[in-house]
A and B are shown apart, each in its own frame.
Chain A
């Protein structure tokens, strides 16, 4: 059973470009979470999605960031018009259910904005 897959593992963008980060949850998992880890900082929750629904987006920046988890295909975290401050590691996690279920994390996408 493959783990959580994230791609790309590394992404370089220039200021003003768009970044698309993909996350394929573990097989059988319908809950996806995105977290961000800024350099030398801790992990911060961004958004929690179930298939076709955003459940909790309380950690998402109000502008330029969006997330989706369509019925088919991976979850996508999209950052429009990237700025240098968006440079960070973005981790995706998945679980079978909400609540106290274990979250399984992917290896992360390291975004560098030049």
Chain B
């Protein structure tokens, strides 16, 4: 499975935008970029995913570099509820079983200050 690199921790203030980076220099052409987050004492929660184009949904935006070697998850206005560990995950879209499992790294612990 292709590897991702994220900062261990980041801090933000409430109601400010947050940009969470992820490097994936060994990404293959069929890898999708997925983001999940895990709030304290809860199971992970899907945030967003994309392949090449930038993506938006009600939770966040995903900006993907043109060479696909990095991406950024954008929370437009952080709230206290957004404090969580954010995981950037590559999933193989080629159709094998490996693409079905999620390979979690260390993730980024986001702290949101009131």
Distance, CA A106 to CA B107, complexed state (A): 19
Q: Which chain A residue lies CB-closest to B42?
A: A107
Interface size for A (C-beta < 8 A) is: 25
- Per-position binary interface string of chain B over residues 70-98, scored 1 when its CB falls under 8 Å from any chain A CB and 0 otherwise: 00000000000000000100010101011
Distance, CA A59 to CA B102, complexed state (A): 11
Q: Quick check: A56 and B99 within 8 Å, CB to CB? A: no
Distance, CA A43 to CA B106, complexed state (A): 9
Residues of A within 8 A of B105 (CB): 42
Distance, CA A48 to CA B34, complexed state (A): 18
Q: Quick check: B43 and A100 within 8 Å, CB to CB? A: no
Q: Which 7 A-B pairs have the closest CB atoms?
A: A105-B43, A43-B104, A45-B101, A56-B97, A102-B46, A98-B100, A42-B104
Q: Quick check: A45 and B103 within 8 Å, CB to CB? A: yes
* Residues of A near any B CB (own CB < 8 A): 4, 31, 33, 35, 42-45, 48, 55-56, 58-59, 91, 93, 98-100, 102-108
Distance, CA A45 to CA B100, complexed state (A): 10
Q: Which chain A residue lies CB-closest to B104?
A: A43
* Residues of B near any A CB (own CB < 8 A): 32, 34, 38, 42-46, 49, 87, 91, 93, 95, 97-107
Q: Quick check: A98 and B97 within 8 Å, CB to CB? A: yes
Q: Quick check: B101 and A108 within 8 Å, CB to CB? A: no
Residues of B within 8 A of A48 (CB): 97, 100-101
A31 in contact with B45 given A42-B107, A99-B95, A100-B91 (CB within 8 Å) = no
A100 interface neighbour in B44, B49, B98, B104, Cβ under 8 Å: B49
B102 interface neighbour in A4, A31, A103, Cβ under 8 Å: A103
Distance, CA A16 to CA B107, complexed state (A): 34
Q: Quick check: B100 and A55 within 8 Å, CB to CB? A: yes
Distance, CA A35 to CA B38, complexed state (A): 13
CB distance from A5 to the nearest CB of B (A): 11
A105 interface neighbour in B45, B97, B107, Cβ under 8 Å: B45
A106 in contact with B43 given A43-B104, A56-B100, A59-B101 (CB within 8 Å) = yes
Q: Quick check: A33 and B101 within 8 Å, CB to CB? A: yes
Contact sample, A vs B, 19 pairs, CB 8 Å cutoff: A4-B43, A35-B102, A42-B105, A43-B87, A43-B102, A48-B97, A48-B101, A55-B97, A55-B100, A58-B101, A93-B44, A98-B100, A99-B95, A100-B49, A100-B91, A100-B93, A103-B44, A105-B45, A107-B42
